Each structure stands twice: as structure tokens, then as C-alpha cells.
Structure 1
Amino acid sequence: MGADRITQDLTRRTGNSSQEVLAWAFFFTCALLSILTTIGIALLLINESLRFFSETAGLLGVSGETASLMEFLTGTTWRPSNHQFGVLAPLTGTLMVTIGSAIIALPLGVATALYLSEYASKRARSVLKPALEILAGVPTVIYGFFALVYITPLLEPIFHVSFFNMMSASIVVGIMIIPMVASISEDAMSAVPDELRQAGYGMGATKLDVSIGIVIPAAISGIFSSFILALSRAIGETMAVTVAAGSVAFFRNPFNPFAFTKPNMPMTAAIVNSLTGDFAGGGIAYRSAFAVGLTLFVITLLMNVVSDLIAERYREEY
């Protein structure tokens, strides 16, 4: 009786067809699995991070996990072998990669999207946009080797960079996220109604005036969303920065251009080293990876929340 009642209720809500009931159940299951997976990841990170902070408190001789958390968030030295877990050191590496890649990817991505949306012919767009999407599918470790083999030798005589350096890592990550910025921004610009463009032309505006003064402001919410998604990808990039940036974390000023010529280890590389190095298999150094992962999770979550708020604030409805 209970199963029949549920089936009747679903049939009444979704229609009289049994196929509609099956479709509803399938899509509901997919959505539920996505939510449960996210919750499972969050619970795993929180549980292992609490164990890490508890063990760290015992090593440091401080009282409670809160004191250990403060040491983790305010410490400037990351040396798991010496039980020094100051997350600010790898955090500055992540900020450097994010800032450097943003300087490269955001203007180039928007310019590419503007060309595809407003200037390119249908034939050129049909070739260039799939090429950008193929570029986004290249394995990230290949980008890391590309930075070591090609970008670093080009930068060395000009900026005197180290073999491992943040400048080449930032450049290669910027190249990686250009397709994301360009593709999403181009979709937002293409969604702008042609009536707005025609109104601009009717008032004597040039194509450049219409592109910059009408199309970009009208698509600003989608463009900004592409920025946040691309920067989230840059923050979470692992293999490219692991190969190109270095394997030792230093507390550096991310706004100092000279710091980009030296090596550093972002947070993702710190996670890789903790999970695959000599500390793998358990222990406090191994669990430090989960604490760093939780920090990254919170950062990207906040970025996406801010992105949704700003996109909702400036979204145009036509």
C-alpha cells in the first residue's frame, strides 16, 4: 500500500505517463547523489582536519584544537618534516599563481570572447571555439612540462628566474584558464539581444563602441561569473604548479613582482607532497593535507557564493 501510494503521488505530480515518473526518479537520484557526494567530501575533510588539529595541539603543547587552528592559520613556515604547519606559506604561493594567471587570462579571455562574438565570421567561430575547448582538455601535467621546457628558458635571460619559479607557473596556469574565460564570456555576449546592438548603430556608434559600451556591460554578470570560475580553477590547479613552481613553501609577498622569479609551493602542491611523499599512509604530516584541502574548499566555496551574489545583482533580463 505504501509503495502504491508513492507511485500514485508521483504520477499525479509529474503526469499520467509512467515514463515521466521514471524520468523524475532518475533525475532526482542524480541530484541527490551530487548533494551526498559534496556532503561526504566536506565531512571527510572536517573529520580528518579535526584529527590533525587535535594531534597538532598535543605536539605544540597548546590547549585545545582552537589554539592549534590559530597556529595553522597564522603560521608562516610550512615544514611537515619538522612539524611546522603554517598555512600562510603555501597560501601565498596560491595567491601568487591566482594573481599572475588572472593578469594573463582575464584580459586575453575577454578579448577572445569579444572577437568571437562580435567580429569573427561564422566559419572562423566554428573553427576557433572548438580549438579553445580542445585546449581546455589538455592534461594539466603537460602544461607543467611546457612551462619547464619552453616558458622558463624564455624568461631566464630576461627576468633571471630560477629553474622552478612562480612566474612560469602563473603564465602556464593563465594559458590554461583562457578557454574557460573566453567560452563562458562568449556565451554571455552572444546572449545579448541584437536589438541593443542595432540601437547603438542607429545612434551612429561604431562596432568598437557597441562592443565595449553596450555588449560588455550587458553581459557583465556572465563575464564576471567566468572570472570567478576561472580563478577557482587556478586556485585548485595541481599538477601544472607542482611541476613548475617548486616543492618548498616560502612565505612571500604575493604583490611583489620580484617574488615571482623565485620558487614557491602552492597549497595544492603541498597536498600532493603530503599524500604522495614520505609521509603518505598516516600520521600528522599526512593529515595536514586534509587541513589544507579544507582551507581550499572554504576559499572556493566563498568565491562561488560571492560570484552568485554579484551575478544576481547585475544580471540583465531581456
Structure 2
Amino acid sequence: MIAVLTAFVLVLALASYFLARHRAQVMSGGQPASLHSRPSYHGAYSLLWVLLAGIGFLILLTVVPNYIMTQTLLSQIGEAAPDTAFIERQLILSDAKALAEGRVASQTGELRQRIAAEYSSISTTWTWVRIVLVVGAAMLAAVTTQRSVSPQYRARNRTEKVVRAILAAMATIAILTTIGIVLSLIFETIGFFAELDWRIDKFLFGTTWSPLSGVHTGNMDPDNVGAIPLFAGTLLITLIAMLVAIPVGLFAAIYLSDFATKKVRGTVKPMLEILAGIPTVVYGFFAAITVAPFLRNTGESIGIPIASESALVAGVVMGIMIIPFISSLSDDVINSVPQALRDGSYGLGATRAETMRQVVLPAALPGIVSAALLGFSRAVGETMIVVMAAGQGANLTANPLEAVTTVTVQIVMLITGDTEADTAAGPAFTLGFTLFCITLLMNMLAQRLVRRYRESYE
């Protein structure tokens, strides 16, 4: 039904656009100069209002009723079965919805059947309310905007005002989403540390990570929430990845920008950028099936033991994945350096290599640092490659030939494990907040260094 209503609103908006534009053309009498706004602005004004009214009511009447129905039915379940936990009530409600929609439920019973009947009744009522209000709002907007078409009507000004309001709303949503994410991280982190009696030092400097080991007793042991192995593993794998990606990506960008012919550049650059489109799970499979056995067999042949899951394997493959990010961005930055700087260097007798090393690279350094930061952020947030190639055990070691894990892998394991989400949310969100703070500080430091260098250069 939602898809049908959406299609109706879109068709009505397009029809309203063409009708309003046609009415404006007819009113102009073949003289567009007699209109304050062009006919297309009258059509766009009508289209925007129909879309805003129809889609706005559709979203509002989809989100709000679902919330009301959920809370109402959960309260009814609580009254009928007061001894059930909240997660059990959610399971009963999920089964009731499945029964009402004709799907297979995990369990059936009298309570589920009764809630299913109630859900079906409420859902039917809200469906008709949604249809009437969405269609009515869209039709009202269409009729109102059609009647406003006149030679003196300032459709262009009003259309631009509506567009500015939409853009401001989208920007506000983005800002509020960011604030919401940060606040959720902060509140969950505070709750986690409160559960540990504010033993923050145990989390920041502890060397044992097993946060769910004492959950069955109802208490979380502060001695088992040391995140040092996770951050050490993350740093080790990221360092290996950047040691692979930065030299290869930067040298490839230098070659393609100033040394390669147009034919070579036109062939190699697209091939490099293809790497960015490969799914990370494919990289992880490549690391586990191809790279890991190769490195293990090579190490055995020279007497160096290399684990099947190691930081070296994950770091090397992750570095290969990051190469196109650094190469493409660095190439664009190097090409954006003014040609006058190169010509001036050539005029002083410098070679192409000397010009690149002493003129172009210093001028492009801020952009190159930004590319490296993007690659660093990409490496820190990677999960699939680490899961498949580096292991999941929290092993504190500086040896890249051993298995390690990262922060993101542990977050996934905590959230998707068998433990209740409320119990695992604290450690997971705390890890996320700590990683957020670390990356934020590194970005601020890098921006300060870039700004300082740019001021001294200019």
C-alpha cells in the first residue's frame, strides 16, 4: 500500500507540474514576458507542494502509527503476561505480526492469536486513515497551487524559497543525525563505566578483553574489559596497511600524473580504480584463501612460522584495498598544482624528478595528507578482512605474524552474538566512542599540521 500511495503522489505531482505550466502558458497569450515567472516555475512550484504534502503525510502516517501500535500492543502483552521480560514481549509481538500478515511465526498460542487480531484491526484502521489523508493532502496541494497560477504570481521566488527550505531541512537532518550518534555513544559509554564503578583505568589500560565472561552472574568484571589488545591489534593492522598503501598509491599517482604517457594513464588509472569497487568480503576471501597460505608456506620454507590468521595477511590485503583511494586522490591533487610552478622550475634548469620532489610534492602535501587520512580511516573501520584473515581473539602482541583482532570486529561480535543486546551494548558502544575520540584527535592534529605547513609555504 505504501508503494501504491508513493506512486500515486509521484504521478499526481508530475500531472500537476504539466498542468500548471500549461495554464501559465495559456495565460501568457503567447507573450512569456507578460508573466512574472516562467511557466516552468509555476509547474515546479505545484510539483514541490504536491510532493511535500503527499510524501510528508505518508512518512508521518507510517512512522507515528507504527510507534503507537507497538507501544499499545506491548502494554497489552504486559498486562496479559506481567512476568515476561521485555525481550520476550517483543518476541510475542513479532510472532503476532507474522500471524496477522500470514507469515510463519516461531510460536503460536492464545495470546499471540489475540494480539494478532488486535494488530490486524488497528493496522486496517490506520491504513484507511493513511490513504484518505495522503490522497487528500496531495489533491488539496494540487488544487491550491493550480488556482494560484496567474501572470502576477511570483512562482520563481516562492519555488526558490521552498527549495532553500528543503536544503536547510536536509542539512539540519544531517547535523541532528550526527549529534544523535555522538550522544548515543556518550550515554551508553557512561552507563557502561557506571556499571564498572567508574574503573575507567581498567578499560583503557587493561590487557584482558572478555567483557561477557561474568554476565551470567549479573555483574561485569572490571578486570576483563581491558581494551589494550583491541587497540594494539587495530593499530598494528592499520600500520601494515598504510605501509603498503601510501608508498604504492603515492608513487603510482606521481607516475601517472607527470611521467606516464596519455595512453598508459588512460589504461592504468581505470584499472587501479577498479580495486575500489571490489566488495570487502571478496578481499577477505582472497586474503584467507590465497594470501594466507602463500605467506604461511613461504615462511615455512625459510624457517619463519606464520599463523594462518595473522596481522600481516590482513594488513597487506587491506593495504591493497586502500591503494586506489590514496592513488586517485593524490593524482587529482598533484594535477591541481599550477603548471606555472612546474614551468618556473624547468626554467631554472631543474629536471622533471627534481621538480616533482622539490616543487610539486610540497605544494600538494596538504592534499596528500588528506588522502592518507582517508585511507587511515578506511583501514580503521574495516571489518570483513580482519574477521576472515586476522582472527577474532584478543591477543596482545606486536608480532605481525600472529593472530590479532580489531575494535570493529569486537563490536560486531558483541552486537551479533547470542547475548542480549542490552548487555552487549555497553562494551560495544564504549569501544565505538573510544575509537571515535581517537580518530577525531588524529584528524584534528593532521588538520593543524596541514594548516601550519600551508601558511609557511604560502
**TM-score above 0.5, yes or no:** yes
* Deviation sequence 1:12-39 (CA, Å, 0-9, x none): xxxx833433343233222222211111
Query: Could you list the runs of 5+ residues in structure 2 that have no partner in the other structure?
Result: 1-155, 214-220, 300-304
Of 117-126 and 99-108, the range deviating more from structure 2: 117-126
| Aligned position for 2:201 | 70
Q: TM-score, normalised by structure 2?
A: 0.60
| Aligned position for 1:103 | 243
Match of 1:281 among 386, 398, 421: 421
Q: 1:186 to 1:264 in 2, by over 3 A?
A: same
SS of match in other structure, 2:377: helix
- 1:153 aligned partner, one-letter code: P
CA–CA separation in structure 2 for the residues paired with 1:140 and 1:273? 18
Of 94-103 and 154-163, the range deviating more from structure 2: 154-163
| Aligned position for 1:62 | none
Question: 2:37 aligned with 1:37, yes or no?
Answer: no
Question: 2:436 aligned with 1:297, yes or no?
Answer: yes
| Aligned position for 1:121 | 261
CA drift of 1:286 comes to 4.0
Of 110-119 and 301-310, the range deviating more from structure 2: 301-310
Whether contact under 8 Å (2:272, 2:324) holds in the other structure is yes
SS of match in other structure, 2:422: coil
Whether contact under 8 Å (1:236, 1:296) holds in the other structure is no
- Between the two proteins, the alignment pairs up a number of residues equal to 288
Rg larger in structure: 2
| Aligned position for 1:90 | 230
Of 104-113 and 121-130, the range deviating more from structure 2: 121-130
CA drift of 1:150 comes to 1.1
Match of 1:243 among 388, 394, 410: 388
CA drift of 1:54 comes to 1.7
Whether contact under 8 Å (1:246, 1:265) holds in the other structure is yes
Q: 1:122 to 1:37 in 2, by over 3 A?
A: farther
| Aligned position for 1:7 | none
CA–CA separation in structure 2 for the residues paired with 1:158 and 1:183? 32
Q: TM-score, normalised by structure 1?
A: 0.85
CA drift of 1:288 comes to 0.6
Match of 1:140 among 248, 271, 280: 280
SS of match in other structure, 2:171: helix
SS of match in other structure, 2:196: helix
Question: 2:315 aligned with 1:170, yes or no?
Answer: yes
CA drift of 1:263 comes to 0.3
- 1:162 aligned partner, one-letter code: A
Question: Percent identity, aligned pairs only?
Answer: 42
By relative contact order (CA 8 Å, sep 6+), the higher-ranking structure is 1
Whether contact under 8 Å (2:283, 2:317) holds in the other structure is yes
| Aligned position for 2:70 | none
| Aligned position for 1:234 | 379
CA–CA separation in structure 2 for the residues paired with 1:276 and 1:250? 21
CA–CA separation in structure 2 for the residues paired with 1:303 and 1:279? 33
Whether contact under 8 Å (1:279, 1:286) holds in the other structure is no
| Aligned position for 1:198 | 343
CA drift of 1:277 comes to 1.8
CA–CA separation in structure 2 for the residues paired with 1:214 and 1:280? 58
Query: Could you list the runs of 5+ residues in structure 1 that have no partner in the other structure?
Result: 1-15, 58-64, 254-258
Whether contact under 8 Å (1:98, 1:231) holds in the other structure is yes
Q: 1:250 to 1:132 in 2, by over 3 A?
A: same
CA drift of 1:280 comes to 4.6
CA drift of 1:158 comes to 2.9
Over the aligned positions, Cα root-mean-square deviation in angstroms equals 1.9
| Aligned position for 2:332 | 187
CA drift of 1:267 comes to 0.8
